[in-house]
């Protein structure tokens, strides 16, 4: 009731302010009249009665103000008046308004855009119920990095673990679907039965896999993703229970996942089938003991990620006889357990955080610049402020007015920033490396609007308070209306120094990233990527039932490809360098016959002759594979130089034998030693490689990479090469056609992306700093026209005057660079993981960026200096 009255009465006063004013005036007038009547009745004369009544009431205006100010709507009314006044003032100086709104708008927009990307990727939980309890489990390589687990390890951990609710292992699967529509290669996964239970999401239609279906020679069943279901099956629920054809084989559809279900580890996955590995672990030689499975698990309610880690580590430390482990899966360094969210964002987190830091710097610079502009305006409006203070306006009221103005500016900038952000987010998503997880969920939503609004309000207050502080601290300065330029100039110069310092930090970061990338790309990768075309060819289905058929196909295709004009060399390989994933234990035969040393992990490449030549991987000793290395002859291997060094320490490796995989595998005689190749990424040098002829490998690699060296532009030869493969078998999918150069570049995508963002931000920062220097100097020259005139009159030469102005500008820049360098030494710590082959304190970067900044500062000084030189002493002196 009372709240309602408060509201309605207040609103009435606001909406019908004239009537409300009249009412109040009438009430006071009536009060006065009654008082007069009362005094008359007590026997005073008319005049005396009027005087007495007036005395009693006091100043009617004060009474009116008093009553008005006590109501809440008064605050609204004065704020509205402030906003109107601020709008009027901004309209009167459109240039100032435009520069401010643009500057802040770019700063706010960039921050909002980066926030928009950071939020779903780093801040939001994964889109699963209880996502915080899902962990990723990996094994560790000899140098401590996480590597895929083996099926055997998975079984032991699940069996013995006491903290896990559910666990699953996954490997990628690329089936080809044929049907009424054209053949399409799908991205899929082979998963163990508990996979969907770990994620906590059930199919929308049908069911997930039974434990019974996940066994060797189990039934062919699949679960479809929503996208695939709509695209290929018209969202028809009846498809559940029917057979679809994948890789020439019928698969029974048992379920369809709900829309919006996202497989965050591999977002393009649309089809799942049971893993169907042998849980009896028949031999160490089988696929059950290969390091090629990703493992995820759901931690039991009540347990934490930490307790799960301790649990699994304890299991790893205490092998039991009933759980035999091969040497390469003995977990000597324990499993690697982290939250799934951390795992999938691990590679992009440093870049995103660095970008967020950079954008905060840009926003800070924009704020400093705007504060500077406001101070400059403060100087111009000093007369107005002096007048208002003289008329009795309290300081609070004036500061409030200034704050209103800046918050208004900030809100306008925020609106402008939202437009920038919307465009920026799209650009970022389009340009970001494909391995940034959860990009699909990046969008402009309410939380981003809130972020933009909150950021602009904070910016408005900060800037307003910074500018208002001047008035607050020294009202007399304004009240006197005197021409004190000194203190203003000092405040503004300090701001410009800060701006230069911030810009320098960004420039140094950008420089370091740029040099890192150069270093990285100039790293000897161990192969020659120029002029090389790659594509993945997959043999599928009934036509390739066994190793021999697959081998025959690849050999025929290779032969055909070699005859394509423009092709210099060609070979097939099971995995490409820089994307290494297939790792096996390698044991060397020691001097004592048939005793293997401890196996160590090495990348295993199944190759067909021509691979080394196509990538120009140098042969150091011995020979490469040729057509005679078939399944019929004793097994051979080529090893990398680092592996030769590790296993045979200086002695000649040729003729010695190694075993790849389990103890049951054949001993392979080393016939050649080749140069080391960057296998996982350009940054990691020390991983060993073992190459085996594809025909001597017991499991056929169905998908092989064709590597073709060409004359001239490899992209132009691509259609002819594809045609050559299809000439052997028209139904085979050929995917991921790319030049090797592009793959090398893509392997540096995160750095490249961060660098691009930093370059853009550093450019903006440099421009803003230049504007800041220019504005202060230009303002200074205007304010000191008289002083300059006097100097000129006293005989200062043009050069001297120009010198004074330029010195002033450059000294600001120099001081800024000194502070900036100190700040950069700290700030670049956040960049450490993105740098490569270069120190954070790389002197070249610091020197070059200082020079660049000084050069830009000199440009910014030039115009004000030239204007100072043109000051006519006579006019300047007369102006006062």
Q: Summarize as ranges the residues that interact with another protein (CB under 8 A).
A: 1-2, 5-6, 9, 23-24, 26-31, 33-35, 38, 56-58, 62-63, 66-67, 70-71
Closest approach of another protein to the CB of residue 439, in Å: 54
For another protein, the closer of residues 23 and 598 by Cβ is: 23
Find the shortest distance in angstroms from Cβ 397 to another protein. Answer: 20
Taking the complex as a whole, the smallest distance from the CB of residue 71 to another protein amounts, in Å, to 7
Q: Which is nearer to another protein, 27 or 476 (CB)?
A: 27
**700, 320 in Cβ contact below 8 A?**
no
How far apart (Å, rounded) are the C-alpha atoms in residues 410 and 622?
A: 71
To the nearest whole angstrom, how small is the minimum distance from the Cβ of residue 342 to another protein?
Answer: 56
Which of 3, 632 has the CB closer to another protein?
Answer: 3
Closer to another protein by Cβ: residue 5 or 91: 5
Distances from the Cα of 470 to the Cα of 105, 280, 327, 333, 376, angstroms: 25, 80, 73, 62, 12
CB 411 within 8 A of CB 461: no
- Among residues 746, 750, 577, the alpha carbon closest in space to that of 678 is found at 577
DSSP code, position 53 = H
Q: Are 533 and 718 in contact (CB under 8 A)?
A: yes
Separation between Cα atoms, residue 500 and residue 503, nearest integer Å:
5
Q: Which of 454, 453, 456 is nearest to 464 (CA)?
A: 456
Q: What is the closest distance, in whole angstroms, from the C-beta atom of residue 59 to another protein in the complex?
A: 9
Distance of CA 543 to the CA centre of its chain: 45
Nearest in space to 754 (alpha carbons), one of 828, 655, 679: 828
Q: Which is nearer to another protein, 9 or 215 (CB)?
A: 9
408 with 497: CB under 8 angstroms?
Answer: no
| Smallest distance, another protein to C-beta of residue 392, A | 19
**DSSP category for residue 186:** P
Q: Which is nearer to another protein, 2 or 217 (CB)?
A: 2
Toward another protein, which CB reaches closer, 29 or 482?
29
Q: CB nearer to another protein: give 28 or 131.
A: 28
Q: Which is nearer to another protein, 2 or 396 (CB)?
A: 2
- Nearest by Cα to 456 from 496, 426, 418: 418
Give the nearest distance from C-beta 452 to another protein in angstroms: 37
23 vs 652, which CB is nearer to another protein?
23
Cβ nearer to another protein, comparing 28 with 810: 28
State the nearest-atom distance from the C-beta of 75 to another protein, in Å.
Answer: 15
Report d(CA 589, CA 665) in Å as an integer. Answer: 13
The distance of closest approach from Cβ of residue 263 to another protein in the complex, given in angstroms and rounded to an integer, is 60
What percent helix, strand, coil does the chain show, rounded to 5? Answer: 55, 15, 30
Cβ contact 152:329 at 8 Å: yes
CA–CA distance, 197 with 299 (Å, rounded to integer): 12
Q: How far is the CB of 51 from another protein (least distance, A)?
A: 16
> Which CB, 52 or 734, lies closer to another protein?
52
Helix (H) or strand (E) holding 709: strand 703-710
CA distance 524 to 685: 10
What is the secondary structure of 113-145 as a DSSP string? HHHHHHIIIIISPPSSTTGGGEEEEEEE-TTS-
- Dihedral over alpha carbons 227, 231, 232, 238 (to 10 degrees): 70
Contacts of 121 (CB under 8 A, 6+ apart): 345, 348, 352, 436, 437, 438, 439, 442
**End-to-end alpha-carbon separation of the chain, Å?**
64
- Report the nearest approach of another protein to the CB of residue 31 (Å): 5
**Cβ-based nearer residue to another protein, 34 or 872:** 34
- Of 27 and 342, nearer to another protein (C-beta) is 27
CB-wise, 69 or 306, nearer to another protein?
69
Nearer to another protein, 70 or 730 (CB): 70
Cβ of residue 46: shortest distance to another protein, in angstroms? Answer: 15
Distance CA 571, CA 143 (A): 31
The residue whose two tokens read 């699967």 is 173
3-state secondary structure of 9: helix
Q: How far is the CB of 7 from another protein (least distance, A)?
A: 9
Helix pair 785-793, 749-783: axis angle to 10 deg: 60
Q: How far is CA 772 from CA 493, 680, 761, in A?
A: 9, 46, 16
Residue 634: CB atoms within 10 Å: 11
Query: From the CB of 80, what's the least distance to another protein, in Å?
Result: 20
Task: Report the distance separating Cα 332 and Cα 316, nearest Å.
Answer: 7
Q: What are phi and psi of 741, to 5 degrees?
A: -55, -40
Output 48 or 55, the one with its CB closest to another protein.
55
Phi, psi at 706, each rounded to 5°: -90, 125
In the bound complex, what is the minimum distance in angstroms from residue 47's beta carbon to another protein?
A: 20
We find the least distance from the C-beta atom of residue 43 to another protein, in angstroms, to be 16
> What is the C-alpha separation between 28 and 41, in angstroms, rounded?
20
Residue 239 DSSP code: G
């Amino acid at each position: 009731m009372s709240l309602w009255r408060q509201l309605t009465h207040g609103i009435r006063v606001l909406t019908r302010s004239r009537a409300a004013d009249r009412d109040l005036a009438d009430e006071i007038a009536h009060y006065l009249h009654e008082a007069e009547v009362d005094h008359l009745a007590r026997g005073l004369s008319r005049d005396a009665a009027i005087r007495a009544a007036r005395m009693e009431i006091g100043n009617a205006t004060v009474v009116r103000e008093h009553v008005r100010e006590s109501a809440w709507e008064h605050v609204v009314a004065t704020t509205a008046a402030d906003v109107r006044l601020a709008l009027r003032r901004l309209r009167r100086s459109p240039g100032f308004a435009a520069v401010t709104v643009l500057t802040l708008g770019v700063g706010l927009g960039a921050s909002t855009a980066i926030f928009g990307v950071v939020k779903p990727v780093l801040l939001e939980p994964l889109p699963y119920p209880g996502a915080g309890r899902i962990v990723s489990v990996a094994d560790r390589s000899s140098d401590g990095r996480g590597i895929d687990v083996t099926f055997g390890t998975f079984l032991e951990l699940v069996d013995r673990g006491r903290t896990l609710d559910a666990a699953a292992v996954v490997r990628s699967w690329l089936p080809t679907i044929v049907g009424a529509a054209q053949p399409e290669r799908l991205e899929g996964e082979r998963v163990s039965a508990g996979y969907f239970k770990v994620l906590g999401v059930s199919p929308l239609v049908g069911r997930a896999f039974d434990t019974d279906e996940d066994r060797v020679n189990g039934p062919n069943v699949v679960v479809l993703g929503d996208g695939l279901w709509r695209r290929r099956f018209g969202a028809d629920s009846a498809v559940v229970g029917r057979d679809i054809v994948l890789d020439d084989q019928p698969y029974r559809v048992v379920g369809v996942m709900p829309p919006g279900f996202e497989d965050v580890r591999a977002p393009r996955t649309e089809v799942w089938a049971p893993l169907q590995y042998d849980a009896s672990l028949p031999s160490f030689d089988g696929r059950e003991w290969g390091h090629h499975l990703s493992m995820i698990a759901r931690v039991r309610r009540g347990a934490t990620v930490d307790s799960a880690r301790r649990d699994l580590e304890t299991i790893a430390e205490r092998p039991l006889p009933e759980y035999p482990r091969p040497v390469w899966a003995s977990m000597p360094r324990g499993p690697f357990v982290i939250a799934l969210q951390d795992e999938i964002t691990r590679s992009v987190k440093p870049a995103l955080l660095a970008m967020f830091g950079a954008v905060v710097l840009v926003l800070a610079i924009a704020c400093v610049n705007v504060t500077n502009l406001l101070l400059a305006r403060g100087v111009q409006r000093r007369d107005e402020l002096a007048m208002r203070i003289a008329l009795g306006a309290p300081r609070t009221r004036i500061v409030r007015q200034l704050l209103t103005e800046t918050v208004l500016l900030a809100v306008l900038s925020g609106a402008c920033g939202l437009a920038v952000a919307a465009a920026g987010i799209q650009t970022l998503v389009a340009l970001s490396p494909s391995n940034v997880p959860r990009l699909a969920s990046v969008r402009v939503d309410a939380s981003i609007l809130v972020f933009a609004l909150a950021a602009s309000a904070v910016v408005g207050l900060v800037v307003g308070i910074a500018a208002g502080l001047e008035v607050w601290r020294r009202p007399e300065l304004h009240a006197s209306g005197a021409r004190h330029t000194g203190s203003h100039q000092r405040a503004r110069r300090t701001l410009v120094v800060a701006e230069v310092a911030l810009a320098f930090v960004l420039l140094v970061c950008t420089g370091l990233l740029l040099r890192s990338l150069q270093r990285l790309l100039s790293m000897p990768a161990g192969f020659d990527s120029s002029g090389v075309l790659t594509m993945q060819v997959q043999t599928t289905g009934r036509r390739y039932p066994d190793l021999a058929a697959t081998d025959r196909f690849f050999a025929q295709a290779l032969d055909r490809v070699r005859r394509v004009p423009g092709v210099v060399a060609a070979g097939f390989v099971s995995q490409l360098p820089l994307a290494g994933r297939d790792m096996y234990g390698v044991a060397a035969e020691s001097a004592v016959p048939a005793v293997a040393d401890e196996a160590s992990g090495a990348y295993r490449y199944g190759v067909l002759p021509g691979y080394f030549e196509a990538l120009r991987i140098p042969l150091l000793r011995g020979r490469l594979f040729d057509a005679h290395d078939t399944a019929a002859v004793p097994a051979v291997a080529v090893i990398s130089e680092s592996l030769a060094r590790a296993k045979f320490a200086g002695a000649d490796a040729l003729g010695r034998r190694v075993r790849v995989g389990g103890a049951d595998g054949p001993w392979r005689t080393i016939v050649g030693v080749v140069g080391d190749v960057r296998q996982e990424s350009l940054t990691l040098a020390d991983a060993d490689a073992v190459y085996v002829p594809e025909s001597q490998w017991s499991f056929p690699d169905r998908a092989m990479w064709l590597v073709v060296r060409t004359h001239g532009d490899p992209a132009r030869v691509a259609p002819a090469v594809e045609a050559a493969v299809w000439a052997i078998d028209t139904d085979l999918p050929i995917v991921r056609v790319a030049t090797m150069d592009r793959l090398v570049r893509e392997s540096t995508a995160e750095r490249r992306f961060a660098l691009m963002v930093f370059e853009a931000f550093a450019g903006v920062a440099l421009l803003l700093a230049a504007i800041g220097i220019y504005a202060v100097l230009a303002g200074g020259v205007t304010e000191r026209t008289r002083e300059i005139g006097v100097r000129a009159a006293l005989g200062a030469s043009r050069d001297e005057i120009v010198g004074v102005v330029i010195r002033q500008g450059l000294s600001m820049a120099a001081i800024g660079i000194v502070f900036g360098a100190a700040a950069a030494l700290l700030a670049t710590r956040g960049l450490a993981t993105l740098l490569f082959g270069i120190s954070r304190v790389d002197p070249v970067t610091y020197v070059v960026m200082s020079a660049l900044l000084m050069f830009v500062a000199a440009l910014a000084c030039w115009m004000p200096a030239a204007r100072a030189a043109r000051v006519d002493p006579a006019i300047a002196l007369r102006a006062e």
